[in-house]
Amino acid sequence: MSSSKTVRKLQVVSPVPADIDIANSVQPLHISEIANELNLSPNHYDLYGKYKAKVLLSVLDEVEGSKDGYYVVVGGITPTPLGEGKSTTTVGLCQALGAFLDKKVVTCLRQPSQGPTFGIKGGAAGGGYSQVIPMDEFNLHLTGDIHAITAANNLLAAAIDTRIFHESTQSDKALLNRLCPPNKEGKRSFSNIMFRRLKKLGISKTRPEELTPQEVKKFARLDIDPDSLTWRRVMDVNDRFLRKITIGQGPEEKGMVRETGFDISVASEIMAVLALTTSLADMRERLGNMVIGNSKAGDPVTADDLGVGGALTVLMKDAINPTLMQTLEGTPVLVHAGPFANIAHGNSSIVADKIALKLVGPGGFVVTEAGFGADIGTEKFMNIKCRYSGLTPQCAVIVATIRALKMHGGGPEVIAGKPLDHAYLNENVALVEAGCVNLARHISNTKAYGVNVVVAVNMFSTDSEAELSAVKNAALAAGAYDAVICTHHAHGGKGAVDLGIAVQKACENVTQPLRFLYPLDTGIKEKIEAIAGSYGASGVEYSEQAEKQIEMYSKQGFSGLPICMAKTQYSFSHEASKKGAPTGFTLPIRDVRASIGAGFIYPLVGTMSTMPGLPTRPCFYDIDLDTATGKVIGLS
């Protein structure tokens, strides 16, 4: 066992109880005890109740000169709709490293949206005996970051429609006079944020009255093209009826009606900005640079053009600090940011990873999780997140299950909410071996980045020795550094000790530098085609709309950004039904969009829903409060 004072010994029960029952059976430590184990003093964090604290970015300044620990990313094979336990494995691995192998360790996880918590999927705190606690606080409001994103996003949405409205009814001079009202002495002046727009326009004058009529028009009239608007309102609830709405129907809006819609809050570009920012100053620039649409002349219009970048930063100033929590076994967790894994990059924040790497120090471990399969999450971790952070991982874990491998080997369709076919519950080594082509491609793709790859087989009670052995053999044959059977769901950290040892060896023996899949200075299409090649595609087909957007973004100077592919997580290809490791297909690019503030271009491979719906029987049927104890019941 670890020498850490915060480590707890779990009393494991079989069969494994419900996640919420396990979470409620463990009394969390006061978060100051967890902070103390990381050498954080009370002036390094702000408490949010007893079990959560915001770690302040100022910590980074204090530890600037110190060396980093090992950096590990957890991805997975192409999943079934049931998920293969990446979060659970991430937590279990950290419990093993911290509670059993006596290593300094920090788990870095995304904050889950409340949408799935009340919808189909349930929470995202891990599962079984590998969880983050308190589970209800982790899955619900946490420390309010998603609410801050919602407020900032919707302030910008309101600013856009209001600006279009006011420009439609006023002359250039009247607009300027209202944008720059006189002070008590009757003098007009530009506010600080306005100088950003003036500089962008190449105007060096410092007083409103110095502007020529032409400059007044350029400065005061954004002339936003409503058809080009990409910014939508958000809320953190699955509400399908808000996917498409009409706004401006009130009599005061003078007929300025347009169609728009809501996305779920975690799909907001502001969430991606939070995840990729490196400092408060960097976040201010990224928020101001977010492009919301174009002018009628085709020029990009930003949040700073609308004068709102500073206000957005004020709304986000506390959200930039990661939230400290704990696992069931008392190891520290930093929860921060939760961007979508399709239209965004699906990874927790850079600042959390940077703080954690300094806090664990040399020989310590920071383990973070990348959303969806490794073809999406790990690829974006490497090519987007590591590019902006400058950090280098030593090891990538790929989580696999016998269940998913059987599906890739040709097993019957796996459908959430329906009982598994008998093929998944009985031994079938041939089916597993056939499905290992999926695992093998994920291994070779991930190895190409220069990291050592460890396969973690998340074991279920129905898996046989022969099946598990087949996966280990296939993984090693495909070039994995090691392959380990794990039982952390049933046993906590104890069930992932072998994984912890394998990850430690993989980190200590990495021999290659980080290699990206593509250079940034090639064109948008070349980058898309490099990623498509890693999927097994033989070519890429662009729709007319995609061609138009690529040309526009290139003309606007955005072609040097990394690419964030938005495609199904259920196949290497664009068709969810194509399992295994398909080859020779043409990848269709339906549209190409951009998150300029966050810093990536995202091609759409098929249709992406950015606002989930609720099923006939949502998770909320099971969720309630025990009014006698105040404990949440029924969270999954």
- Pairing assessment for the beta strands 482-486 and 452-458 based on DSSP bridges: parallel
**Alpha carbon distance 292, 270 (integer Å):** 12
pLDDT at position 544: 97
Specify whether the CB–CB gap between 114 and 139 falls below 8 A.
yes
Give the pLDDT band (50/70/90) at residue 119: confident
Neighbouring C-alpha atoms within 13 Å toward the C-beta of 277: 29
Neighbours of 590 (CB within 10 A): 17
CA 187/CA 112 separation, integer angstroms:
50
Residue 138 has what pLDDT?
Answer: 93
Instruction: Give the residue-averaged pLDDT of 209-229.
Output: 97
DSSP per-residue letters across 92-159: HHHHIIIIIS---EEEEEPPPPHHHHHSSS---SEETTEEEESHHHHHTTTTSHHHHHHHHHHHHHHH
What is the DSSP pairing of strand 332-335 with strand 105-109? Answer: parallel
The tally of CA atoms less than 13 A away on the side-chain side of residue 342 is 17
Average the pLDDT over 451-461 and give the result.
97
Q: SS3 of 229, please?
A: coil
Q: What is the pLDDT of residues 317-357, one digit of tens each?
A: 999 999 999 999 999 999 999 998 888 999 999 999 999 99
For the cut 60, the answer to whether the pLDDT of residue 1 exceeds it is: no
Report the C-alpha gap between 488 and 453 in whole angstroms.
19
53-55 and 45-47: which strand pairing?
antiparallel
**What whole-number distance in Å separates Cα of residue 605 and Cα of residue 610?**
14
Residue 593: helix, strand or coil by DSSP?
strand
Cα-Cα-Cα-Cα torsion 324, 354, 385, 391, nearest 10 degrees, comes to: -150
The full 3-state SS of 383-444, as one line of letters, equals: HHHHHHHCCCCCEEEEEECHHHHHHHCCCCCCCCCCCCCHHHCCCCHHHHHHHHHHHHHHHH
Instruction: Provide mean pLDDT across the span 77-86.
Output: 93
d(CA 465, CA 128): 22
Q: What is the mean pLDDT of residues 77-83?
A: 93
Q: How far apart are CA 540 and CA 524, in angstroms?
A: 12
The dihedral sign for the CA sequence 577, 339, 111, 93:
positive
- Percent of the residues in the chain that have a pLDDT greater than 70, as a whole number: 99
357 three-class SS = helix
User: Residue 145 — pLDDT band, cuts 50, 70, 90?
Assistant: very high
The residue assigned the tokens 């991805």 is 75
**Crossing angle of the two packed helices 172-179 and 145-169, in degrees rounded to 10:** 140
The confidence band for 2, taking pLDDT boundaries of 50, 70 and 90, is: low
* Prediction pTM value: 0.96
Give, to the nearest 10 degrees, the angle between helix 544-555 and helix 524-535. Answer: 130
The predicted structure's pLDDT at residue 326: 98
The mean-pLDDT minimum among 125-129, 277-281, 299-303, 362-366 falls in 125-129
How far CA 205 is from CA of 191, 194, 258, 627, in Å, comes to 13, 11, 36, 64
User: How many helices (DSSP H) and strands (DSSP E) are in the chain?
Assistant: 23, 24
pLDDT at residue 551, rounded to an integer: 97
pLDDT at 7: 85
In this prediction, residue 471 carries a pLDDT of 98
Residue 76 tokens, joined? 């997975």
Q: What is the mean pLDDT of residues 282-291?
A: 98
Q: Are strands 323-327 and 332-335 parallel, antiparallel or unpaired?
A: antiparallel
Which DSSP string corresponds to 250-290?
Answer: SGGGTT--EEE-EEEGGGSHHHHHHHH--SHHHHHHHHHH-
pLDDT tens track for 408-441 = 999 999 988 789 999 999 999 999 999 999 999 9
Helix (H) or strand (E) holding 348: none
Nearest 10 degrees: Cα torsion 464, 22, 126, 499: -50
Task: Give yes or no for a contact between 354 and 389, defined as CB atoms under 8 angstroms apart.
Answer: yes
* Average pLDDT score, the chain: 95
Distance (Å, whole) CA 599 – CA 441: 28
Query: Could you tell me which residues come within 8 angstroms of residue 158 by beta carbon, excluding any fewer than 6 positions away?
Result: none
Q: How many residues does the chain have?
A: 636
Could you tell me the pLDDT band of residue 203, with boundaries at 50, 70 and 90? very high
Whether 263 contacts 325, CB under 8 Å = no
How many CA atoms, within 13 angstroms, populate the side-chain half-sphere of residue 111? 34
Rounded (10°) angle between helices 280-289 and 269-276: 150
Q: What is the pLDDT of residue 561?
A: 98
Q: How far apart are CA 603 and CA 341, in angstroms?
A: 13
DSSP 358: H
134 preceded by a cis bond (ω within 30 of 0): yes
CA–CA gap between residue 126 and residue 636 (Å, rounded)? 10
Interacting residues of 599 by C-beta distance below 8 A, sequence separation 6+: 276, 286, 384, 388, 561, 562
Which residue, among 478, 484, 489, has the nearest Cα to 500 in the 3D structure? 484
* Cα 568 versus chain centre, distance: 16
Q: Please, which residues have CB within 8 angstroms of residue 260's CB and are 6 or more apart in sequence?
A: 229, 232, 233, 244, 245, 246, 247
Cβ neighbours of 27 (radius 10 Å):
9
**Nearest Cα to 155, choosing from 309, 336, 317?**
309
